[in-house]
Chains A and B, each alone.
Chain A
Amino acid sequence: MKTKIIAILVVVSLASLVYLFFRTRSHPTSISPSFKNLQVGTDTKNDVLSKMGSPLSSSLSSSDREKLDYSSQNQYWPHQVYIQTQNQKATLVKERLLHTVLGELKNYIDKYGPPEAVLASNDDLPALGFRLHVFTAAGVAINANPDTGVVFEIWYFPPMTLAKFQTQYTSEITTWTQPQTF
């Protein structure tokens, strides 16, 4: 009886260890990202309008991309949906969170693994300490402060390679080296 109990405990312990091992190691490399039920890379502009309604405003963000602004928690930072003008499909979504929660970035790293690259968005956010943590396989980039883990926004895009990400969104990203402060 005693041996059986020990054997059961050993089995349960091993099973627990195996579960924990795979739980931490595995990450959803093929998760299709979603914001407001949008399927980025699949949904068309009509789908976007259908799911999210009329935008606050729309404008051309580049020669081949239209930007739709949707209201967020902050008047200065609307959510943004980018439509590829050629095929009218949603190609990038920026969800503006403007969180102030310390350590939140870790949740995403726990979920998606280490970021494939740490870049910078091509706006004012790098100057405020934010860096774009890119998880290309998951189709997610987290713009967050690496020191504090505070998350400002999430980018959603179709899963792709890093090289393609950098090419496709070249107008949205930049390289940033913190300059001297004086």
Chain B
Amino acid sequence: MTIDLAAYRFAVITRDIIYRWERHQENPSDLRFSWDQQLDSQSLETFFNYFKSQVTPHPDFNFNPTQPEFFQSFKDFLQGEVIDNYNEVVANLPPADVMAAFDNELARRTTEVSAAEKIQPTLAQARVELFKRLDGLVSQLDSKTTELLTTVSIEALGKLDPQTALQQTAQTISEVSKTVGQAASTETLVTILESAAPYLQQTSEAFTAVAKTIEDRLEGSATQPAKDRAARLVTTAAFLGEKHAPTGLAVTPQLEAGLITATQSPHLASQVGQLLADNQLQFNQLIGQFHRASAQEKLFDQKILKELSLNPNLTGEALNQSFQIARYVTPFVMVGHSLAQEKGASSAEVRKIDEFMARIGYFDALEKGYNIRASARAAAQQALQKFDFASMFNSMGNVQTFYALRGTSSARLQAFLTDIQSLETSQFNLQTITARAGDLSLSLTTTSGGGTLPTTLKEMGQQVSQVIITNPAHSTLVWLGSQIRGGKWKNVLAGIGMGSMASFIVNPVTGVAAGIGALFIPTHYLTIESTLGTGRKVRPALAKVGRTFLAVAGSVTGVSFGFFLLIPILVALILFIINNSAYIVPQAVGTISDGIVPGDTGCFEFNTASFTNPSLLQNLIRAAQTISTYTCYNQKLCSGGKITVREIPKPVGWYGFARFSRPRLIEVYKGYQPNPQEALYTLAHESGHVFTVPDTYSVGTQYASLGLSGSDRTCLPTYQFYINGPADCRIINPNNPDQPITGQFEDEAETIADYISNLSLLSNYSNHLQLAKSIFESCGFP
């Protein structure tokens, strides 16, 4: 019996769940290892059923989560029958020409983005020129015209695109200056601008409403430009959605062009008034929808809070947590809910989908580092179950707009829009990707007997496969289509499931939801430098793909249907690769904090002036505080003096998020946006290098003496840059790229990192654990 990758991956996921149960049994008050008997047992049962029905040999015992013996038997089964019997397979990568074609397609988009970016340096010059022109022109314009121009510039264009407002105004004034000498022309201009004024005011209100919602939802660290861009994106997407709305309204091409390519359109400033007048009906509808959605959102919050308040078991922090998680998972639930309704699902089926999507939302919260108690999660779920989504949808009349607002409120959008670099550097994402892919695949597998959920997901897949198959000109699409037709649809579908919201872009009815849904795809899903075991050949190409997509997403000029359309395909492609080549490490749970907590950072000294990202600094300081609580390690680590931590631009040719340099310098790369748990992992890993160079405490000797060296070696899987995976344990030799060398110094550092940040995984590697214990539990010399 050959254990396939899916079984192996699910086994590792399941084993981690059991680890969590074990840790919970040891110390129920340790919130890192919470356990909800009902919910977590359900998850475990899902996996158990998978192994019972899909994997040979089957477990020869029954599911009984109330008996400790069951957990031990299940763990033994997973380890002995599945994990240990798994033989790593060669990555099933797309053919080189497929990758090349996809790369070329995105290279074209990169060029477009680059061209748009080149405009930016000219803005400063444009600004100077504008003021010069204004100086020269103001005296020639009457006060009313000047006032209107000012209004256009600041209140309208400034909200549309602050960076290019002045440039646009300069163009307008330039046009005005040609006719300013003629009273009639001036009068015409004034008339146009006057007629536009009410609409501009409405535009302003719309943006204010959206921006406020975004501000309410985005984390405090969101920058104003990010909020502005998010607001603009939502509004633009809403316009686009209206274009395809069933009401039959149409957005004129000029308006669409003006809104989408405001930075390039010379028409916007001078023609926006007329364009809006031409589309008054739909514009008013849009604004109305935003207002209704905003009101509904408040109503939702009130209802959920009321529902939670009725729960006598919830007080204080637990109540707050329940409220936060309910709000967090709502967008997920709403998507599934509305889709199920559209498909005519029964109420029981809708409820099932709600629960499923809530679970995905909860995973998402965990990934972000939220540490939500199981009790709070259960309470939130209970409250959501009582909430009547249908009535809310009906009263609002446009669930997509509501979802657009909710979706855009995701903090991920902030990262999506503001920092392309984060794509390259988020290393923990793979585990979430694979976990979710696995979860979805599992759901598809285990529930394929019936029900709405697999049907819905399958329909999503069919829609995307339709796109794929009907675009024969693109070899990437052809290849993915062949995978679907060749029976590997589950792998592709797992990716499509992840990008399912985006896939609905092909359905005009859900245009807005699809557009925003595309944005809602976590940036993590595009983090393909994390794709383990795929080799160097593919990794840079995929990384470029990811960067390109973010670049496109971050640029309003690049937002188009083609862009949205490619996202699910990209995600499918990436997840297909991951499904066939990578492996998983268990998910870690972190905590969130609103600020830097005073505390001992041990010997870590932060060069605060070097940091451009306060959040990064904050998370690293918290990480240092955590590391310093490991008394013996901290004592030994600090015996060599202080460790300087600073931020630098990522050097060319370096991987990862940070580096260590002799003697005691840790440099974290600009653009790295870790959550607290990721920051802890990274700093702990780099501290491991500091600890072993010089190797004052003979970690190297201990490492070797434990048999971690030699032909039987296997390195910890959490480290991502072994070119052929952790079992091979080799990294690129910079002096001879054709001859990789052992990277066991990374494994030493990783042992330290995992002890601090991923102990449950480390517990499965007994020799590594023993090494870690000698480091962490002995304050003296070995």
Contact = CB atoms under 8 A, between A and B. Distances in A.
> Do these two chains interact?
yes
Interface of A: 74-77, 98-100, 102, 123-125, 127-130, 145, 147-148, 150, 152, 175-182
Contacts of B475: none
Contacts, number: 102
B705 interface: yes
23 contacts: A98-B701, A98-B705, A100-B698, A102-B781, A124-B704, A124-B713, A125-B709, A127-B745, A128-B699, A128-B701, A128-B744, A129-B694, A129-B700, A145-B700, A147-B696, A148-B696, A177-B735, A180-B734, A181-B660, A181-B689, A181-B745, A182-B657, A182-B659
A124 B715 CA distance: 12
B76 interface: no
Interface of B: 654-660, 689, 692-696, 698-707, 709-710, 713, 721, 731-735, 741-746, 748-749, 781-782
Give the one of A98, A127, A181 with max B CB within 10 A.
A181
B781 A100 contact: yes
A162 to B, nearest CB: 21
A75 B704 CA distance: 10
B705 A74 contact: yes
Contacts of A99: 701
What are the 6 A-B residue pairs with the smallest beta carbon separation, nearest first?
A: A128-B700, A147-B694, A124-B709, A76-B707, A182-B656, A100-B698
B696 A128 contact: no
B642 to A, nearest CB: 19
Given A124-B742, A182-B721, A129 B734 contact: no
Nearest to B700: A128
B660 to A, nearest CB: 5
Contacts of A145: 694-695, 698, 700
Q: Tell me the interface secondary structure of chain A in the complex.
A: loop
Given A123-B709, A124-B744, A182-B654, 10 more contacts: A100-B702, A124-B709, A125-B704, A127-B741, A129-B700, A145-B700, A147-B695, A181-B689, A181-B745, A182-B657
Contacts of A147: 693-696
Contacts of B782: 100
Contacts of B703: 128
A181 B659 contact: yes
A179 B733 contact: yes
Contacts of A123: 709-710
A177 B703 CA distance: 20
B773 to A, nearest CB: 16
Contact of B695 (A148, A176, A177): A148
Contacts of B781: 100, 102
Contacts of A75: 707
A102 B701 CA distance: 12
A147 B700 CA distance: 12
Contact of A181 (B700, B733, B749): B749
Nearest to B767: A76
Contacts of A182: 654-660, 721
B689 A100 contact: no
Greatest chain A CB density within 10 A among B693, B695, B748 is at: B695
A67 B225 CA distance: 68
A127 B659 contact: no
Contacts of B746: 181
A129 B692 contact: yes
A102 B698 CA distance: 9
Of the candidates A125, A129, A152, A178, the one having the most CB atoms from chain B within 10 angstroms of its own CB is A129
Contacts of B704: 76-77, 98, 124-125, 128, 152
Given A128-B744, A182-B659, A102 B696 contact: yes
B640 to A, nearest CB: 11
A177 B734 contact: yes
Contacts of A176: 741
Contacts of B656: 182
A178 B698 CA distance: 18
B701 A100 contact: yes
